[in-house]
Structure 1
Amino acid sequence: MLDAVICLVTGRYEESVTVIDRLDDGWGERVAAAAIILRACVLSRRGQTAASASTLRQAEAYSDHALGNMLGLVPAEDIAALAALDERFARLGATVQRVGMASSGQLISGPMPQVRLTEKERLVLDGLRQGKNTRAIADEMYLSVNTVRTHVRAITRKLEVTGQADAVRRAEELGLFDHPRRSGR
């Protein structure tokens, strides 16, 4: 699911939908609710508000708890867009914002700060940008999963964000990637 969120916040909408579609039925309420929210976010970002609102109506069967947990993973701008489309999501979004669960990583005004990442941190961050999980990054870099997690913690601390998706988005805002995103991603 994190892969789908990372794809969403980095503008790779088709890839986000592909990740959501790969999820099998039977994963439970939390995953099903997350898939609905992510689909609605993708549609909203594409400007398809009617389709986004229709998708949100599919969430009627799911608990506020399941929906609220997923809302905590998506950016505040997406929460606001969903809130404008559906009264229940307006209430849930307000709760998520109030308790501080909303994803950070929004643009900070003023001059861009200088962030110094090590070469390994840059490679880990690039793997995250490509939607890879920590295991895939560890295998590719011949590191342990714990070492990759340590690099991720250092990255999020240096970028002053709280999650992997926020780290990728913040790094793109700061222009930390040496190369443009590959087409189709």
Structure 2
Amino acid sequence: MTQQDAMDEVAFRAFDLLIRTRNVLVTAESCTAGLIAATLARVPGMSACLAGSFVVYQIDSKVAWLEVPAEMIIQHDVVSLQVAETMAVQALRKTAHATIAMSITGHLGPAAPEGLDGVAWLGFAGAGMAVSSKQFLLEVDALQSEPDKRSLFVRHERQKAAVVKSLAFLCHRLAEQGRVRLTS
């Protein structure tokens, strides 16, 4: 199965669960730069349950558009549980017709701070639900790429891996909320 196949498969599962749980999702994306929403939008009918996405790639955008406190970013780093959760909460607050929000912030490399290369945080918020987050590592076999294109390859593969992991997390949270059993 290709990475694109995996992205499409989990997007279809997310769509099914969004419909079954009657939720409308908004995303706030940093390191994926809108790829989560774009992947979901490939599914026919997704407009019924995808409100849209805040693509907040720069720190200034997180502060201005989602009102993530600059002090929080300074204290905890832009890639942190606190920032991911705040991004989700603020995206939900700013999108009145959405019922749930998911956010992602991460370091894709190659110039990530020591020990944070490939680290990402997801945030999840929903009306009447506890805010939650999850950290994961985006591992890629860089040796599969040409040496002069390695950093581009790694970033692209990490973005795709982040989409799959993010949507799998969304499916898990939706299944918990709707007490739905996940298949496969």
- TM-score scaled by length of structure 2: 0.32
Higher helix share: 1
Higher strand share: 2
Q: For the pair shown, which has the larger CA radius of gyration, 1 or 2?
A: 1
